Structure 1
Amino acid sequence: MIRFSVLVVLLLTSLVSFAQPTLIHNIAGYTMTGKPGAEAKLVQFNSLVFDQGKVVFTGDTAIAKQQYPTAKAIDGQGKTLLPGLIDAHGHVLGLGEGLTSVDLRGTKSINEAVERVTEFARNNPKQRWITGRGWNQVLWPDKVFPHRQALDALKINKPIVLSRIDGHAAWVNSKALEIAGINAQTPDPDGGQIIRDAQGQPTGVLIDTAEFLVTKHLPKTSELELNFALDKAFDHLLRLGITSVHDAGIGENLYRLYQQRQQKNQLPIRIYAMLDGSSAKLTQWLKAGFVADEEDKLSIRSVKLYSDGALGSRGAAMLEPYSDKGDHKGLLVTPPAQLTSLIEQVLAAGFQANVHAIGDRGNRLVLDAIAAAYKKGFGNDLRHRIEHTQVVATVDIPRLKTLNLIASMQPTHATSDMNMAEDRVGKDRLKGAYAWRTILDQGTIIAAGSDFPVELANPFLGIHAAVTRQNTQNQPPGGWIPEQRMTLQEALRSFTLDAAYAAHQEQSLGSLEPGKWADFIIVDRDIFNRPVEELWKADVLETWVAGEKVYQKSL
């Protein structure tokens, strides 16, 4: 028995010693290095060596070949190599479900939206409910909310539920209203609004928490369907060069399923999941403690909370009335006292609080609640985040720094919202809106994401928007509020090293430094030596996670 054990040990030692490093050379490599934030440095290299899933060398090819003479060599053919990109705010299941439902993104009129619903219903006759996402009335000629009558006219005898692009409003047909029991007498729920016509009848548009009156009746998704949606999302993200996602708000289904998939080695990307702070399971989850694994595939140590709604649906909570609706200041999804209590509960458990806030009042309430928790001795070193940090009163911006908060922001929100943001809040309040430069200059870290499926998941769209403040048609000339632009280095950092910091993962992710996981992508152009107007055109050719190629573009 002793001899057999010795033999096994010798065999395992032999296998480890013969593990062959991999050398990728002839590349234009770029990575941020050092501490996250403004002190990070951009380093260029032409060779990368990794072994057993982790980086062991970045630098000159001649030195790499000298130090690793037995490494398996791969010619990078002059392509550009970057760290794997991290989306610091997305919704993985929502993305997967969106890939299998009505896509209303980019519709230019209510008629075009209705046509897409008709086509989807015709091609998916077995669907019990018709669901979809992506409509944006601001892009339609009259810019007004749609009406249930347009859906009723289709004569589809099924409930129809279509989420607005930001996920903070739903457009439904009369069948869905009937199932939910919504009529003229139904009161608005706390934190929500049932849009009504002049006669007081529901129009079919439900804002924020009012959506749940309908969506709680959606058929329960089976585990098979959940896994199918996750697989669709993972495949989509890897094609875009995203190797890690901060999943912004998971319920019991994903809390359980993510852990099952991690244990079975079925997480092809890294997941930093935020627990749904509105769940009845929250106390139980907090008592269970952090979820983590040695390969950094799954980390759960944060909670997603909500302050207010969204700007496009006028659900963002404002200190003063909307400029285009003088009697309305938005909605609070969570009452202030409850938000303060939840934040204290989360911080007391040692979890990071990541709070959705878009309006200037919504952001101020988060700042006040976190400051109150700090005064009680809770969690001032846990890197709490404000998700979106979208419209902030200029006097409140310095509080992000004094409270050691991270601004989790989505650059494409600015270029998507620029056609309506000034209408909503006026020119003066825009001084604190999408204010990346102001936030960076005071030393606050920005963790960048897309908020997919609200926006397209492609991170190069976000990098382009951050650097140019323009859409992909290079509009407006010179950029929208151009003084708030990021540099390209800052934009890359916000999607890599600083995003990793926002997840307490900067020691293992976010840059291609020795000892960190070999998560990287190869793209078709050198983004540092091409016009910034072309940043969004960068095409991912390969995606690698922990030294394993998980995606290669077909030629």
Structure 2
Amino acid sequence: MMRTLAPAVLLALAAAPAFAADVTVLTAHRIHTMDAVRPQVEAMAFDAEGKVLALGDARTLLANHPGATRLDVGNATVVPGLIDAHGHMSGLGWGMLTADLVGTTSKAEILARLRDKARTLKPGEWLIGRGWDQNDWPEQAFPTAADLDAAFPDRPVWLSRIDGHAGWANSAAMRAVARDLSGSWQPDGGSIRRDAAGKPTGIFVDNAMALVESARPPMDEATAEQALVLGMREAVAHGLTGVHDAGIPLEELQRYQRLADRGQVPLRIYAMADGNSAALESLCAHGLYRHPSGRLQMRAVKLYADGALGSRGAALLSDYSDDHGNRGLLVMSPEELAVAADKAHRCGVQVATHAIGDRGNRIALDTYAKALGADVAGDHRWRIEHAQILAPEDLPRLAAMHVIASMQPTHATSDMPWAEQRVGARRIVGAYAWRQLRDAGTHLALGSDFPVESVDPRLGLYAAVTRSDARGLPVGGWYPDEKLTAYEALRGFTLEAAYAGFAENEVGSLAPGKRADFVVLAEDPLAVPEAALRTLTVRATYVDGKPVFEAPAR
């Protein structure tokens, strides 16, 4: 049963026709509704509360609603609001407040950016950054603390890898850690990289990152709230009307709630509890959460099976092809996953598990099968987040178990220069297997995993359709049999993402009775050449029939 933490002022569907002055009739060159009953129209009427009243041709709707406000977007195309099924809002905003290392191609470039950022800091203040990727450097090897120490001998430096599954510390940051880091010990679900003498090199993978994170001064409340505000502002500017925030603590939910109480949540946030922690306990104790505004809810929990492929932390069934003896990491043990999944099932909470390697995915599926029992055939909508590398025999299991594949198209195009080196030619055929999964009947919810990738859903549409980089390489796409059509990609960012959040009766398509969440695009994403998907022009983003972003007039 859903609950609210504020007075119930739930958005309701009006029983009587709206007064003409309270109705807006939107007219456009084309409206793609993603509704099978009426997939394409030229006009839509919605009321002041943001409920869609009718769709059809402009003449009929204008005649049926005399005196209605006219919103004519001219030659533009309207699509349902885009929903990112896997992102990290605080991380997106926090990245705007720290050193941005995304796109750097060498350690020298990173040091230059860090020096610029350090000039804005107080003496002794930690220098925080994110976005480095050793796979983009000439040497393609993990860096060390020594690479940072010459420039920053006294100021602690802590830099998160692009995927958030590894961190790079200088010696000053490691000195701040309470525990002695030398020796051969390793934390559960993590790895401290050490030299031959047992001295830490400065690289901390997965759960080992917590050692340095705990030594870092915590973010103050004002900055934490600012990060959310900045992230949400960036999301709506790119056409997103919804985001599934994949794994937040209870205090972050409360932060969102305060913003929602003040009317400062411009899009729909589907939040997931951060593992078997206080947020999940709250859901079990008090019920599934929904804010009266309809803009915020939590009814899912995010668990972790393994790490990431780029840092060789994804759990594989056999050795990494480019690192013999290494099969990755289990961030949560199978026993811990089972305990959390069983608890979620008892509490009616949806489970979404991060699983990237073929072993990680198998463990997640096995855990689900056991926890759900006879309910595996029901409408549980449990999810696997990423589902990047699947053994061939596990590919059909998702559809058979009614498990949603929550996948990120830009991961494939970012990883393709080195992914096959990690897993080899045999396993790569089950990697980023969108077409195989969809054709097997799996629900495919699409997202970006921002800030690991760009928040821009246009890049996801392009990657899904082409499996090529920004230059159109490789020509024809990387393992092109796994491409999606433009319609399938758009559906993944609309109706399928809504389904993954139990919201397909409210958003994801434009139909009478649903919310007027939509995006105005200068171009038609289902008619332009594939290459043009990257540069679609977002003119405006509407949530509940109100603009939450409007592009400046040219």
TM-score by length of 2: 0.94
Unaligned runs of 5+ in 2: 1-14
User: What is the rounded CA distance, in whole Å, between the counterparts of 1:506 and 1:534 in structure 2?
Assistant: 28
SS of the residue corresponding to residue 445 of structure 2 reads strand
Alignment-mate amino acid for residue 103 of structure 2 = G
- Which residue is equivalent to 1:25? 27
TM-superposed deviation, 1:199: 2.3
User: What is the rounded CA distance, in whole Å, between the counterparts of 2:71 and 2:474 in structure 1?
Assistant: 42
Relative to structure 2, which stretch is displaced further, 285-294 or 144-153?
285-294
- Which residue is equivalent to 2:42? 46
TM-superposed deviation, 1:282: 3.0
Matched, 1:117 2:114: yes
SS of the residue corresponding to residue 316 of structure 2 reads coil
Correspondence list, 1:59-78, <5 A: 59-78=56-75
- Which residue is equivalent to 2:158? 161
User: What is the rounded CA distance, in whole Å, between the counterparts of 1:201 and 1:421 in structure 2?
Assistant: 29
User: What is the rounded CA distance, in whole Å, between the counterparts of 2:532 and 2:71 in structure 1?
Assistant: 28
User: What is the rounded CA distance, in whole Å, between the counterparts of 2:163 and 2:361 in structure 1?
Assistant: 18
Relative to structure 2, which stretch is displaced further, 111-120 or 13-22?
13-22
**Of the candidates 76, 79, 82, which is equivalent to residue 79 of structure 2?**
82
Relative to structure 2, which stretch is displaced further, 527-536 or 418-427?
527-536
**Of the candidates 343, 346, 349, which is equivalent to residue 345 of structure 1?**
343
User: What is the rounded CA distance, in whole Å, between the counterparts of 1:307 and 1:209 in structure 2?
Assistant: 12
**Of the candidates 438, 456, 461, which is equivalent to residue 459 of structure 2?**
461
TM-superposed deviation, 1:280: 4.5
Assess if the C-alpha contact under 8 Å between 1:86 and 1:242 holds in 2.
yes
Alignment-mate amino acid for residue 470 of structure 1 = S
Assess if the C-alpha contact under 8 Å between 1:87 and 1:495 holds in 2.
yes
**Of the candidates 200, 210, 213, which is equivalent to residue 211 of structure 2?**
213
Query: C-alpha deviations, 1:484-516, integer Å up to 9, x for none?
Result: 000111000000001000000000010111111
TM-superposed deviation, 1:285: 3.4
Relative to structure 2, which stretch is displaced further, 513-522 or 455-464?
513-522
- Which residue is equivalent to 2:395? 397
Correspondence list, 1:461-500, <5 A: 461-500=459-498
Assess if the C-alpha contact under 8 Å between 2:376 and 2:402 holds in 1.
no
- Which residue is equivalent to 1:535? 533
User: What is the rounded CA distance, in whole Å, between the counterparts of 1:539 and 1:131 in structure 2?
Assistant: 33
Query: C-alpha deviations, 1:89-124, integer Å up to 9, x for none?
Result: 000001010011111111111111111111111133
SS of the residue corresponding to residue 527 of structure 1 reads coil
**Of the candidates 232, 238, 249, which is equivalent to residue 240 of structure 1?**
238
Assess if the C-alpha contact under 8 Å between 1:344 and 1:378 holds in 2.
no
- Which residue is equivalent to 1:525? 523
- Which residue is equivalent to 1:334? 332
Moved over 6 A (4+): 13-16
TM-superposed deviation, 1:379: 9.0
Number of equivalenced pairs: 537
TM-superposed deviation, 1:155: 2.8
Correspondence list, 1:49-198, <5 A: 49-52=45-48, 53-125=50-122, 128-155=125-152, 157-180=154-177, 181-185=179-183, 187-198=185-196
User: What is the rounded CA distance, in whole Å, between the counterparts of 2:293 and 2:58 in structure 1?
Assistant: 28
TM-superposed deviation, 1:374: 2.1
Assess if the C-alpha contact under 8 Å between 2:24 and 2:46 holds in 1.
yes
User: What is the rounded CA distance, in whole Å, between the counterparts of 2:260 and 2:550 in structure 1?
Assistant: 23
Correspondence list, 1:256-275, <5 A: 256-275=254-273
Alignment-mate amino acid for residue 446 of structure 1 = L
Going from structure 1 to structure 2, the CA distance change for 1:68 and 1:532 (only over 3 Å counts) comes to same
- Which residue is equivalent to 1:412? 410
User: What is the rounded CA distance, in whole Å, between the counterparts of 1:257 and 1:539 in structure 2?
Assistant: 32
SS of the residue corresponding to residue 430 of structure 1 reads helix
User: What is the rounded CA distance, in whole Å, between the counterparts of 1:15 and 1:121 in structure 2?
Assistant: 59
Matched, 1:512 2:514: no
Matched, 1:251 2:249: yes
Assess if the C-alpha contact under 8 Å between 1:438 and 1:484 holds in 2.
yes
TM-superposed deviation, 1:270: 0.7
SS of the residue corresponding to residue 221 of structure 1 reads coil
TM-superposed deviation, 1:363: 0.2
Going from structure 1 to structure 2, the CA distance change for 1:373 and 1:96 (only over 3 Å counts) comes to same
SS of the residue corresponding to residue 33 of structure 1 reads coil
Assess if the C-alpha contact under 8 Å between 1:347 and 1:379 holds in 2.
no
Aligned-pair identity (%): 45
Assess if the C-alpha contact under 8 Å between 2:124 and 2:156 holds in 1.
no
Relative to structure 2, which stretch is displaced further, 193-202 or 398-407?
193-202
Task: Give the aligned CA root-mean-square deviation in angstroms.
Answer: 1.8
Going from structure 1 to structure 2, the CA distance change for 1:186 and 1:102 (only over 3 Å counts) comes to farther
SS of the residue corresponding to residue 368 of structure 1 reads helix
Relative to structure 2, which stretch is displaced further, 72-81 or 354-363?
72-81
